[in-house]
C-alpha cells in the first residue's frame, strides 16, 4: 500500500508537487509534473493497488459563492495561526467546470469520500497540518511573497526540512533522509542564492506533507479532524492541539533570518546531538583545528559573502554524502549491538541516525560572537555519524563506555553530566564518545569524500534520555512565550534533579537485589521441562553477584540453550558449573564488567567445549565462540570433561 501526496496547482500551466511513501513511511518517489497526463504517468505504479492520496486542492465544490462549509470551519480554528484557506466556489473560473482535483481523482480511480475504504482521495491543507503537527505559533514563511526577503524564505524552508526529517521518530515515522531525491532537494535549498531557486522546492515539500497526512489517515485516524462532509467538501488535517496559542505577530519582517540562526529542530534522529548544539568545537584528539580564513567583519553579526559561500558549498556536498553517512551510522549501530549482546550488558535500545541535511546546514552557520563556530563544517561537525545507547541504570553507562574503549579507539570522551554538576546545576546529562572510523564497524563502506574523522556514540539512562528528549521537544518545537520562559527553566531544572535522584534509587535497588541473592542455593524439587527465564535470572544474580543484569531476551535465549543441553533444573545447572570462576575470568581477561548471561555463557563454553559450540542456538556465532574457546584453552589446558545430561 502506498501513500501519495499531490500539491496540485489549480491549472495545468503551473507545476504540481508529487510525493510517495511506502508502508514503512519511507519516501520512495519525489517529483514535479504539470499536466494531468504527466501526473497520472508519474503515479501509475503507486496507485494501481490500495492507496490513500492526499491532495492539496479543492475536490468537491458545489457552492456558487463564498467559502465552502469545510473552509469556514477550518478557518475558525486555524486562521489565527495564519493558516486559513482561500475560498473555493463555482463562481470562480477554475471551478466553473468542476474541480481539477476531482477530475484527477477520477482518472486515478479514487473515491472522494474520506471515510471510504482502501482507495480514496483526501483533500488536505499543508499549512494547517504543519501548525498542528509541530505546534507552531504561526505558519512557516517558506512561501514566496514580495515582502519576504530571500534569507527569511531560505531559513524557513530549511526549518521545514528539519521538522519533517524529525518525524523519523514519530508514530508513524516519516523516513526521508535515505532518499536520493530528498537529498537533492535539500541540497538545492542550501545552495540557492535567489528566491526563484527556492520556488521549485515548495511544491514537492508540500506534497511530502500531503503524503504524511494520508499515512496518518490510514494508521492513526483518531489524530485527525475532518472539516465538512463528502457532499459539500471535506478537508482532513491533524487535529489542532488543545491549548495551542498563536505567537505574537512581529512588528516587521526581520532583515535577516538566515538558516545559520535557526535552532536545531525535532526530537528525531538529529536529536542525537540535542544538548550539544552550543558545545565547543571538536576537542583535541579529533585532529588539528582548522584556521579560519581571514575575512572582513560583517555588520550586525551577518556572515561575510565568503563565509556564506563556504557554508553553502559544505551543505551542498553534505547533501550528496548524507546517504553514505546514514549507512555508516547503521553499520556502527549494528556492530555495537552485536558487541553489547556478546558482552551480556543490559541496555534498552540502540538507535542510529545520519545527521539530516537541514540540521547540518543550521549547525554549519553558527556564529557565536560573530565568528564561525565550524570554519570547515564537513570536518568540524563531529556528530554527523550518530549512535545512541539507552541503558537502565548509570553503572551500565560506564560499562558500555568501557566496552567501547576496549574495542575501538576513543578520540574524545565528554561526560556532559559531570560538566553540568561541576557548575552547580541540574540539567542535561549524557556521555559522548567520539570513536575513530575503525574497520571493525566501517567494513567495506565507501569513505571517499567523507572528511569527518570520527563518529559519535551517546550514552544515557532511560530517565536521562526522557528529560533530554522532552526538553528538546518543548524548546525547539513549541512556541514559548517570553513571559513564562524563566518559570519553565526552573521547572526543567527541578525535573532534572528529581530524575537524578530516581536514577540513584534505581541503582541502589538493583544493588540491593544482587546483594540479597548472592550465594543463594537453588531450591530442590521435581524437574521441569525447562528452566524458566525468571528462575534463571534469580539464579545468575546469586551465582555472579558482581555481574550486571542482562537483557530480558538474553535470559530467554540462554534458557533455550540450557534446554538444548538437556538441563531442566537449577540444581542440575549448578552442579555442572565449575566450583570457581577465577580461571575463566583470568583467561577471558575481561576489561569491562560482563553481564550475568555472558558469565554463564563463558562458563558453559568452558565446561562443554565443542558440544556447546555445536548447539543449534549458537549457529549464528560459531566463529565468535571459537575465538573464546581458544582463550579458555590457553596454556594447553583443555576444557573440563563434558558432563552427561
Which string of DSSP letters, residue by residue, matches 438-504?
Answer: -HHHHTT---TT----EEEEEEEEHHHHHHHHHHHHHHHHS---GGGHHHHHHHHHHHHHHHHHHHH
Statement to judge: residues 312 and 239 lie in one domain: no
According to DSSP, the β-strands at 385-391 and 454-461 are parallel
pLDDT of residue 522: 53
Statement to judge: residues 238 and 336 lie in one domain: no
Statement to judge: residues 200 and 316 lie in one domain: no
According to DSSP, the β-strands at 224-229 and 233-238 are antiparallel
In a domain? residue 369: yes
d(CA 435, CA 431): 13
Give the count of beta carbons closer than 10 Å to the beta carbon of residue 479: 15
The domain tally of the chain equals 3
Is the preceding peptide bond at 459 cis, omega within 30 degrees of 0?
A: no
C-alpha cell at 520: 543463594
pLDDT of residue 568: 86
pLDDT of residue 50: 95
In a domain? residue 643: no
| In the block, residue with C-alpha cell 579560519 | 292
Statement to judge: residues 237 and 311 lie in one domain: no
The helix, strand and coil proportions of the chain, stated in percent and rounded to the nearest 5, come to 50, 10, 40
pLDDT of residue 129: 97
d(CA 44, CA 38): 10
**Closest residue by Cα to residue 464 from 499, 507, 491:** 499
Last residue of a domain, one of 427, 461, 495: 461
Q: Which residues pair with 387 in a beta bridge?
A: 352, 457
Residues with Cβ < 8 Å from 157, sequence gap 6 or more? 142, 189, 198, 201, 202, 205
| In the block, residue with C-alpha cell 579507539 | 409
The CATH number for 382's domain is: 3.30.460.10
**Closest residue by Cα to residue 232 from 116, 98, 59:** 59
Sheet with 349-354: strands ordered across: 349-354, 385-391, 454-461, 431-436, 410-415
What are the start-end ranges of the H helices in 194-259? 195-219
CA dihedral 374, 375, 380, 385 (to 10 degrees): 70
CB contact at 8 A, 614 and 629? no
Statement to judge: residues 25 and 153 lie in one domain: yes
In a domain? residue 541: yes
With b meaning 16 or more CB within 10 Å and e meaning fewer, what string describes 349-366? ebbbbbbbbbbbbbbbbb
CB contact at 8 A, 291 and 336? no
Residues in the chain: 645
**Closest residue by Cα to residue 386 from 433, 320, 448:** 433
CB contact at 8 A, 333 and 351? yes
Statement to judge: residues 36 and 182 lie in one domain: yes
Identify the segments of the chain with pLDDT beneath 50.
251-300, 477, 524-527, 636-638, 641-645
Statement to judge: residues 155 and 32 lie in one domain: yes
In a domain? residue 173: yes
CB contact at 8 A, 366 and 260? yes
pLDDT of residue 265: 27
Last residue of a domain, one of 428, 461, 494: 461
Statement to judge: residues 240 and 315 lie in one domain: no
Last residue of a domain, one of 445, 461, 477: 461
Statement to judge: residues 1 and 88 lie in one domain: yes
In a domain? residue 554: yes
284 phi/psi in degrees, rounded to 5? -60, 150
Residues of the domain holding 55: 1-244
Statement to judge: residues 211 and 113 lie in one domain: yes
In a domain? residue 254: no
> Coil, strand or helix: which one is 570?
helix
In Å, how far from its chain's centre is CA 364?
20
**Closest residue by Cα to residue 225 from 106, 160, 119, 133:** 133
CB contact at 8 A, 382 and 454? yes
d(CA 507, CA 463): 12
C-alpha cell at 513: 537485589
In a domain? residue 78: yes
Q: Which helix (H) or strand (E) holds 418?
A: helix 416-422
CB contact at 8 A, 302 and 256? yes
pLDDT digits (tens, 9 = 90+) for 572-618: 888 888 876 778 888 888 877 788 899 899 999 999 999 999 999 99
In a domain? residue 619: yes
C-alpha distances in angstroms, 142 versus 20, 127, 158, 277?
Answer: 22, 11, 9, 24
Amino acid at each position: 500500500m502506498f501513500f501519495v501526496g499531490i500539491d496540485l496547482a489549480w491549472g495545468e500551466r503551473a507545476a504540481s508537487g508529487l510525493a510517495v511513501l511506502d508502508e514503512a513511511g519511507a519516501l520512495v518517489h519525489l517529483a514535479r509534473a504539470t499536466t494531468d497526463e504527466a501526473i497520472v504517468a508519474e503515479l501509475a505504479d503507486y496507485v494501481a493497488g490500495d492507496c490513500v492520496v492526499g491532495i492539496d486542492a479543492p475536490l468537491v465544490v458545489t457552492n456558487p459563492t463564498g467559502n465552502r462549509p469545510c473552509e469556514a470551519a477550518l478557518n475558525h480554528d486555524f486562521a489565527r495561526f495564519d493558516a486559513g484557506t482561500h475560498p473555493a466556489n463555482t463562481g470562480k473560473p477554475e471551478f466553473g467546470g468542476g474541480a481539477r482535483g476531482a477530475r484527477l481523482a477520477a482518472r486515478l480511480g479514487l473515491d472522494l469520500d474520506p471515510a471510504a475504504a482502501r482507495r480514496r482521495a483526501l483533500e488536505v491543507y499543508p499549512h494547517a497540518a504543519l501548525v498542528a503537527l509541530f505546534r507552531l505559533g504561526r505558519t512557516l514563511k517558506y512561501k514566496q511573497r514580495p515582502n519576504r526577503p530571500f534569507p527569511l524564505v531560505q531559513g524557513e524552508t530549511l526549518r521545514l526540512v528539519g521538522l519533517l526529517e524529525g518525524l523519523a521518530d514519530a508514530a508513524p515515522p516519516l523516513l526521508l533522509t535515505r532518499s536520493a531525491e530528498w537529498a537533492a532537494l535539500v541540497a538545492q535549498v542550501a545552495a540557492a542564492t535567489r528566491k526563484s531557486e527556492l520556488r521549485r522546492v515548495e511544491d514537492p515539500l508540500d506534497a511530502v506533507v500531503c503524503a504524511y497526512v494520508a499515512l496518518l489517515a490510514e494508521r492513526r485516524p483518531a489524530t485527525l479532524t475532518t472539516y465538512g462532509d463528502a457532499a459539500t467538501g471535506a478537508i482532513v488535517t491533524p487535529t489542532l492541539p488543545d491549548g495551542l496559542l498563536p505567537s505574537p505577530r512581529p512588528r516587521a519582517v526581520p532583515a535577516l533570518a538566515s538558516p545559520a540562526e535557526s535552532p536545531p529542530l525535532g526530537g528525531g534522529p538529529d536529536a542525537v546531538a540535542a544538548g550539544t548544539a552550543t558545545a565547543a568545537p571538536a576537542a583535541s584528539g579529533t585532529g588539528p583545528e582548522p584556521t579560519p580564513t581571514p575575512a572582513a567583519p560583517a555588520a550586525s553579526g551577518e556572515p561575510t559573502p565568503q563565509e556564506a559561500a563556504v557554508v553553502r558549498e559544505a551543505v551542498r556536498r553534505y547533501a550528496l554524502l548524507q546517504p553514505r553517512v546514514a549507512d555508516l551510522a547503521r553499520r556502527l549501530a549494528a556492530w555495537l549491538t552485536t558487541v553489547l549482546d556478546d558482552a551480556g550488558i543490559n541496555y534498552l535500545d540502540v538507535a542510529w541516525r545520519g545527521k539530516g541535511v537541514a540540521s547540518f546546514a543550521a549547525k554549519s552557520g553558527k556564529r557565536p560572537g560573530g565568528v564561525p563556530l565550524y570554519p570547515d563544517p564537513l570536518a568540524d561537525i563531529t556528530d554527523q555519524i550518530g549512535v545512541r545507547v539507552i541503558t537502565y541504570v548509570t553503572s551500565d553507562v560506564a560499562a558500555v563506555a568501557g566496552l567501547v574503549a576496549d574495542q575501538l579507539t576513543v578520540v574524545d570522551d565528554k561526560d556532559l553530566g559531570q560538566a553540568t554538576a561541576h557548575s552547580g546545576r541540574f540539567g542535561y546529562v549524557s556521555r559522548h564518545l567520539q570513536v575513530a572510523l575503525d574497520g571493525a564497524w566501517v567494513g567495506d563502506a565507501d569513505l571517499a569524500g567523507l572528511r569527518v574523522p570520527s563518529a559519535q556514540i551517546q550514552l544515557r539512562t532511560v530517565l536521562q534520555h526522557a528529560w533530554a528528549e522532552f526538553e528538546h521537544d518543548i524548546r525547539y518545537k513549541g512556541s514559548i512565550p517570553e513571559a513564562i520562559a524563566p518559570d519553565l527553566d526552573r521547572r526543567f531544572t527541578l525535573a532534572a534533579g528529581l530524575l537524578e535522584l530516581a536514577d540513584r534509587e534505581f541503582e541502589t535497588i538493583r544493588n540491593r537485589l544482587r546483594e540479597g541473592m548472592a550465594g543463594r542455593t537453588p531450591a530442590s524439587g521435581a524437574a521441569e521441562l525447562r528452566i524458566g527465564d525468571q528462575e534463571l535470572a534469580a539464579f545468575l544474580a546469586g551465582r555472579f553477584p558482581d555481574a550486571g543484569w542482562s537483557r530480558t531476551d538474553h535470559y530467554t535465549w540462554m534458557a533455550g540453550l540450557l534446554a538444548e543441553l538437556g538441563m531442566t533444573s537449577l540444581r542440575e545447572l549448578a552442579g555442572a558449573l565449575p566450583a570457581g570462576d577465577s580461571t575463566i575470568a583470568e583467561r577471558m581477561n575481561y576489561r569491562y564488567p560482563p553481564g550475568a548471561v555472558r558469565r554463564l555463557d563463558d562458563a558453559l563454553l568452558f565446561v562443554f567445549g565443542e558440544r556447546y559450540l555445536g548447539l543449534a542456538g549458537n549457529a549464528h556465532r560459531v566463529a565468535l565462540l571459537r575465538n573464546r574457546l581458544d582463550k579458555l584453552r590457553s596454556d594447553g589446558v583443555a576444557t573440563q570433561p563434558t558432563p552427561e545430561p
